[in-house]
Amino acid sequence: MATFKELTSADKKTAASFLNQLVDVIQEDISGSNTRKTYQVFVTGGVGPGVTSSLFQTVYDQDFSLQTANPVFDLTVGIFSGSSDVKDVSTGVDSTGKVLFVSSSLMMREKISNYRQFAQLLLGNADSQFAAPFSGYEDDDAIDNGMFVCFKRLFSRDMIKRESFAMRFFTSASHTPGSPYGGSSHAMTSTQKPNLIQTSESGSMIFTDVGAASNQEVSFGGQVGNIVDSANTAQTVGLMFYEQGIGVFDMKKILSGGQHVSGVISAMNANNPSSVGFGRTVIGSAQLGRSSNAFAKFIPDLMTSASIDNILDHVASCRFSSGSNTAITFQNLTNINSTLIFCRATADEFNYSSNPTYVDGSTNKIRVIEVGQESTQKAFCFLTTVGLYDANDNLLAVAKLSRPVEKNNEKDITIRVRLDF
């Protein structure tokens, strides 16, 4: 049997603390094809076999086919419905209110829907537009083309710690010799490689939320901070919503949007199928027999003409590059709420064990007291366990001491029990 003592309100206290964990995402996890999972949920109809694409991609910390793999973050892009990029490729609205777009564009409604979903979640209004800096009101502050990085709860925990986020990103696409855009001819030569699929080799920059602790802002989606260029902190490139674990980046600022782009993208193309092939289009090249824009740029041409998978494949494989270097790092924050219970044993309490073997059954004497020394020796015991009971004496929790602690009438002991939740 246990020895009971009733706890009072003075014996119970509450406390709050937090735990930080460093998270590192390496380049290979983002760029690798076996660590980045796609979901073919969008399929076009009409000409040819159609175009399939994901609405987002998920980056894992190892091969996603393994049961031990953990999803780190989701990656997607979106376009603001009121931007000039949308207006330039829109042909009007049909009788049902659906916005129509030119045939050279792809997944525009899905890109707009992505943007609207994040605006609803983080700004409280699907029609609102993100701005970087968050409170910016200049035209250049508005985010028309957004890249959204959504960290999973397993890694972001309760929130991302302010001024701990950093991302290494290649703002410039890979450059190839003999640029086809400087002369009168725009045909690609044999020495050139499409920069849509080439890993960047220069132009990397570090984007960080430095200064966010001194300039704290709150939105519908919780605490928010500005993400800036570490080499020029006056240049704001995005936003970090700490409690949601979501980063929003202005693609015209983190990409060299005005740079020309060339490569093959997914598209519906019925012209010259013998040379192009259904569902494939060349962008940024004027090769004979291929439907393309010889002057195509990353923004707006790639953003409006390519599928979401095309864009994300380029961002993940080229802009983050490949290798074992850190691509994204941050510290998360876990809030810990604790109840501290002080179990006090005064000098005259808990000096006797309730264990039946504590008393010799034949002599009815305490075993720890030597025979003939009853007048000088006092009973003592060793404390090993604390049990917490409710008002009906139902055992709720058990706390084990790391080692037995001797208790006698010369000791006043307080054992602190901490319950974290």
Question: What is the SS3 string spanning 60-75?
Answer: ECCCCCCCCCCEEEEE
For residues 210 and 163, is the Cβ–Cβ distance under 8 A? yes
For residue 275, count other CB atoms closer than 10 A to its CB: 12
Q: Which residues pair with 15 in a beta bridge?
A: 338
The two tokens of residue 284 are 């940024």
Q: Find all residues with CB under 8 Å of 323, minimum gap 6, and list them.
A: 26, 27, 28
Q: What is the predicted pLDDT for the residue at 49?
A: 63
Is the model's pLDDT at 407 over the cut of 70?
Answer: yes
CB-count burial class (<10 Å; 0-12, 13-18, 19+) for 192? middle
Which stretch of 151-165, 197-211, 227-241, 261-275 has the lowest confidence by average pLDDT? 261-275
Ranges of H-type helices in 202-337: 251-254, 303-305, 308-314
Q: What is the predicted pLDDT for the residue at 291?
A: 47
Name the helix (H) or strand (E) containing 119.
helix 108-123
Mean pLDDT within 63-91 = 95
Nearest CA to 273 out of 261, 259, 291 is that of 291
According to DSSP, the β-strands at 280-283 and 263-266 are antiparallel
Cα dist from 162 to 223, 266, 280, whole Å = 9, 39, 43
Query: Among all chains, which residue has been given the structure tokens 């995005």?
Result: 238
Confidence of residue 399 (pLDDT cuts 50, 70, 90): very high
Is the model's pLDDT at 250 over the cut of 50?
Answer: yes
Q: What is the predicted pLDDT for the residue at 50?
A: 75
Nearest CA to 237 out of 132, 326, 357, 363 is that of 132
Is the model's pLDDT at 231 over the cut of 80?
Answer: yes
Which stretch of 259-273, 324-338, 401-415 has the lowest confidence by average pLDDT? 259-273
Which stretch of 57-61, 104-108, 163-167 has the lowest confidence by average pLDDT? 104-108
The model's pLDDT over 317-351, given as tens digits with 9 standing for 90+, comes to: 999 988 899 999 999 999 999 999 999 999 989 88
Is the model's pLDDT at 148 over the cut of 80?
Answer: yes
Q: What is the predicted pLDDT for the residue at 178?
A: 46
Which stretch of 21-30, 99-108, 154-163 has the lowest confidence by average pLDDT? 99-108
Confidence of residue 288 (pLDDT cuts 50, 70, 90): very low
Q: What is the predicted pLDDT for the residue at 194?
A: 78
Q: What is the predicted pLDDT for the residue at 365?
A: 82
Q: Give the length of the chain.
A: 421
The per-residue pLDDT of the chain, averaged, comes to 86
Name the helix (H) or strand (E) containing 140.
none
Q: What is the predicted pLDDT for the residue at 281?
A: 63
Mean pLDDT within 115-119 = 97
Q: What is the predicted pLDDT for the residue at 240?
A: 97
Separation CA 183–CA 29 (nearest Å)? 39
Is the model's pLDDT at 1 over the cut of 80?
Answer: no
Confidence of residue 272 (pLDDT cuts 50, 70, 90): very low
Positive or negative, the CA dihedral 321, 324, 329, 334 is positive
Q: What pTM did the predictor assign?
A: 0.80
Q: What is the predicted pLDDT for the residue at 379?
A: 87
Q: What is the largest CA-CA distance in the chain?
A: 115
The model's pLDDT over 184-227, given as tens digits with 9 standing for 90+, comes to: 344 454 455 678 888 777 778 999 999 998 888 999 999 999 99
For residues 311 and 303, is the Cβ–Cβ distance under 8 A? yes
Confidence of residue 137 (pLDDT cuts 50, 70, 90): confident
Confidence of residue 421 (pLDDT cuts 50, 70, 90): confident
256: region left, alpha or beta (phi > 0 left; psi from -120 to 50 alpha) = beta
Q: Find all residues with CB under 8 Å of 250, minimum gap 6, and list them.
A: 130, 132, 143, 144, 145, 146, 237, 238
Q: What is the predicted pLDDT for the residue at 74?
A: 98
Mean pLDDT within 173-189 = 51
Confidence of residue 246 (pLDDT cuts 50, 70, 90): very high
Separation CA 121–CA 141 (nearest Å)? 20
For residues 172 and 242, is the Cβ–Cβ distance under 8 A? no
For residues 52 and 40, is the Cβ–Cβ distance under 8 A? yes
The two tokens of residue 294 are 């010889």
